[in-house]
Amino acid sequence: MHRVAVIGAGFGGLFAIKALRNAPVEITLINGTAYHLFQPLLYQVATGILSEGEIAPPIREVLKRQKNVDVRLGWAREIDVENKVVKVDGPGIDYEVEYDTLIVAAGAAQSYFGNDGFADNAPGMKNIDDALELRARIFGAFEIADLHTDPEDIERWLTFVVVGAGPTGTEMAGQIAELAHRTLPGQYKHIDPRKARIILVDALGAVLNTFGDHLSTKALRQLHLLGVEVELNTKVVGVDPTGIEVESERGHQRIPSMTKVWAAGVSAPRWPASWPSRPARRRTGPAGSLWKRTSPSRTTPRSSCSAT
């Protein structure tokens, strides 16, 4: 029987598998976690609305009615294209998966556009660990602000900067504003959470730039109603533990802030050097796309995102 190996249990991987549920194939799914992550709701985990389990159903439960799938835990280490074998690092055990057709749906990574040093002070939000880290930083900022007596220290802890006005950044900024202005007031003795500043920064000239003028204008109006300060045509040029450096038409500016969130772009995940370089797709057999070797000059695909 035709063997299909699928790397990744995100939306792409699961949709591919479900499309093959009635096909005469044997599918092996390789994924680094035992759960499927519903990434669009990560911001709600980061702001305490949802628990992590509510957006991460077990893969085996999602696919329990599909009998032609074998779910395997592990990380693809090497793809041997000539022999059609995926070599996998499992938890405490390495193994190989043979295939006739290979589908790689390994997801996306956060892009800092060449400024990876920003990550320590402005974490992104691509997995559950990221969301829990941000939750700790956001709620911790209010707790620490409540301990301070210096107004400048309090203001710095109550200033939240979200970089990137796409869907993730817009949702995140709005939810932090809801938290600060509507949920938390009355819970602290020494601070007023309603005085928190939530600043949304983007290098482009519109919120939700790819969604068209109507939705962009509507989203901008809603953000203003929530009390979010929107800084467009503003480029981030530096991030450190106590603030963020930006450049705009007003020139160079520093925004003191202890809590920064990066939602400015995505890139393909970093591939092991042994993976095929810049794969091309071609149709084959019942499962669709197959990897074939092309130019060996690159081991990491180029991001399609422009710098912020």
Question: What is d(CA 269, CA 266) in angstroms, rounded to the nearest whole number?
Answer: 9
CA nearest to 98, candidates 80, 114, 116? 80
Cα–Cα dist 186/192, whole Å: 8
Amino acid at 162: V
Active-site position among 171, 178, 229, 249: 171
Closest CA to 232 of 243, 242, 217: 217
User: Beta strands 94-98 and 228-231: pairing type?
Assistant: unpaired
Looking at 149-264, list the stretches that DSSP marks H as alpha helix, in order from N- to C-terminal side: 151-157, 167-178, 213-226
Q: Which residues pair with 3 in a beta bridge?
A: 26
* Cα 248 to the center of its chain, rounded Å: 26
Terminal Cα-to-Cα distance of the chain (whole angstroms): 48
Active site residue 171: yes
Residue 258 to residue 253: CA distance in whole angstroms: 16
Task: Provide the annotated active-site residues.
Answer: 171
